[in-house]
């Protein structure tokens, strides 16, 4: 219900045509070769490399930066891809300010880290632009592996398994591969159809077939995958969305933020997307920020993020929060939704002030209302029906350190699996490591 007649304020085409082009260009343009060399020269090439320790995929950051500094960006790219085959996308979307760059010695000493994310993008883009794939497929093993989900975890697992010589079939419910990278990331972070270009480049390893429009449980069962393959890896992400548990949340123009972001990502004409005058986003993570900022970029007049805890508890990084406020988004903390008001469609959202106590989060008696003709829910996603027989832990598929599930021959990784953070780079690491364990198991 993105453009209900009950709320004429939700409408497309709020801005001049040129504004859409300008607003959704690359928000962090790539470094030029000279800029990359200058940025690389700032690295101390630390022996103990705290940046490398902070990277979930353990990329040898000092090495690849030295390779850029010495004029060999292709070698730098191979160093990155050896650990993170989706290093191109991760360079664009990783919260580097919370990971490698936060650990950088330059950050500690000067408050200005080496631009690791930008340097990683420079190296990976340089090699990918040549259409070169840095790895070759191993000798065929005769083993086949099913991978469910063509997102970061599934793609990373599939690539590593193909490198080892296994035949891989990826099953994905959506019409396109890419998962979160294709459907769940702000458009200004990944421009030029990069997610699809990255998938096409990754598939050059050979030995990987993708079947789109094939959902686990609907089009293929876990038992069928087990019967037809030597191993199964589950990396289907989280398809469900948590409920607000607030009265009236079923009113018109109340949407899941992930659906809004996916719709925007796939839109050929952004001027055709409906957006409200007064948009409220509930949540405190990257999805909330992406939905809020893009609402503003589409022409919303007033956009507010409301989070139930304090600002320090928001999972969106300080950099992302600052990006939101600089785009004109207001952030309200310590407030939880209690009701959605309106005649058929949302007109106001009522919030109660909250307080964090030793006994947990407490909701106070005092409330306030925000005008809203469009409300986005960005309060976390859930596993949408775990395959029968698999143990679930904390709402996710339970796995051990190697990604093994409670059923022999089935591994899982990424957002659908227990442990780790819901980040692209973490999903890549889990898919890669599970693939190594699958290979070890299959080869005895």
Q: What is the pLDDT of residues 234-246, one digit of tens each?
A: 999 998 888 999 9
Last residue of a domain, one of 345, 377, 409: 377
The answer to the question of residue 302 being in a domain is: yes
CATH at 51:
1.10.1060.10
**Same domain for 209 and 247:** no
CATH at 438:
3.50.50.60
**Same domain for 106 and 88:** yes
Q: Answer whether 314's CB lies under 8 Å from 289's CB.
A: no
**Same domain for 234 and 158:** yes
Does residue 6 carry a pLDDT above 80? Answer: no
**Total domains, the chain:** 3
Q: Answer whether 157's CB lies under 8 Å from 202's CB.
A: no
147-190 per-position pLDDT tens digit: 999 999 999 999 999 999 999 999 999 999 999 999 999 999 99
69-106 per-position pLDDT tens digit: 999 999 999 999 999 999 999 999 999 999 999 999 99
**In sequence order, what are the residues at sequence separation of 6 or more whose Cβ sits closer than 8 angstroms to the Cβ of residue 50?**
103, 104, 105
pLDDT at 8: 58
Does residue 276 carry a pLDDT above 90? Answer: yes
Last residue of a domain, one of 362, 377, 392: 377
Rounded CA separation 207/210 (Å) = 10
Domain enclosing residue 54, as ranges: 33-129
The answer to the question of residue 160 being in a domain is: yes
**Same domain for 249 and 202:** no
The answer to the question of residue 344 being in a domain is: yes
The answer to the question of residue 44 being in a domain is: yes
201-249 per-position pLDDT tens digit: 999 999 999 999 999 999 999 999 999 999 999 999 998 888 999 999 9
The answer to the question of residue 276 being in a domain is: yes
The answer to the question of residue 25 being in a domain is: no
**Same domain for 156 and 78:** no
390-430 per-position pLDDT tens digit: 999 988 999 999 999 999 999 999 999 998 778 999 999 99
Q: Answer whether 151's CB lies under 8 Å from 174's CB.
A: no
Strand partners, 107: none
C-alpha dihedral (146, 199, 96, 127), degrees to nearest 10: 130
Rounded CA separation 293/330 (Å) = 10
**Same domain for 198 and 118:** no
The answer to the question of residue 206 being in a domain is: yes
């Amino acid at each position: 219900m993105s453009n209900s007649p009950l709320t004429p304020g939700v409408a497309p085409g709020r801005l001049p045509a040129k504004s859409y082009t300008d607003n959704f260009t690359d928000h962090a343009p790539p470094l030029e070769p000279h800029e990359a060399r200058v940025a690389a020269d700032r690295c101390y090439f630390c022996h103990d490399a705290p940046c490398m320790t902070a990277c979930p995929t353990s990329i040898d950051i000092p090495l690849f930066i030295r390779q850029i500094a010495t004029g060999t960006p292709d070698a730098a790219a191979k160093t990155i891809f050896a650990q993170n085959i989706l290093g191109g996308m991760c360079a664009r979307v990783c919260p580097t300010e919370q990971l490698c760059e936060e650990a950088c010695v330059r950050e500690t000493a000067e408050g200005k880290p080496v631009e690791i994310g930008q340097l990683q993008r420079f190296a990976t883009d340089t090699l990918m632009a040549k259409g070169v794939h840095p790895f070759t497929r191993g000798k065929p093993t005769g083993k086949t592996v099913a991978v469910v989900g063509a997102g970061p975890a599934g793609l990373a697992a599939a690539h590593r398994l193909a490198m080892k010589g296994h035949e891989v079939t990826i099953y994905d419910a959506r019409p396109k591969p890419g998962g979160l990278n294709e459907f769940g990331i702000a458009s200004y972070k990944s421009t030029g159809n990069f997610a699809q270009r990255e998938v096409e480049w990754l598939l050059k390893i050979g030995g990987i077939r993708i079947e789109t429009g094939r959902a686990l449980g609907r089009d293929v069962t876990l038992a069928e995958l087990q019967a037809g393959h030597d191993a199964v890896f589950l990396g289907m992400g989280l398809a469900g969305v948590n409920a607000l548990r607030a009265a009236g949340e079923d009113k018109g123009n109340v949407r899941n933020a992930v659906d809004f972001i996916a719709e925007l990502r796939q839109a050929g004409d952004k001027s055709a997307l409906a957006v409200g005058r007064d948009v409220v986003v509930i949540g405190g993570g990257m999805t909330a920020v992406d939905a809020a900022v893009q609402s503003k970029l589409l022409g919303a007049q007033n956009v507010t993020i409301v989070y139930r805890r304090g600002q320090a508890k928001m999972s969106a990084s300080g950099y992302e929060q600052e990006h939101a406020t600089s785009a004109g988004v207001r952030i309200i903390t310590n407030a939880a939704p209690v009701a959605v008001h309106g005649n058929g469609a949302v007109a106001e959202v009522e919030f109660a002030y909250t307080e964090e106590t030793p006994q947990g989060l407490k909701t106070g008696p005092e409330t306030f209302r925000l005008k809203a003709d469009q409300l986005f829910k960005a309060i976390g996603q859930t596993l949408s029906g775990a395959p029968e027989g698999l143990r679930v832990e904390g709402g996710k598929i339970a796995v051990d350190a190697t990604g093994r599930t409670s059923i022999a021959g089935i591994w899982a990784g990424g957002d659908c699996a227990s442990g780790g953070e819901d980040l692209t780079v973490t999903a890549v690491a889990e898919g890669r490591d599970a693939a190594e364990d699958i290979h070890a198991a299959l080869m005895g």
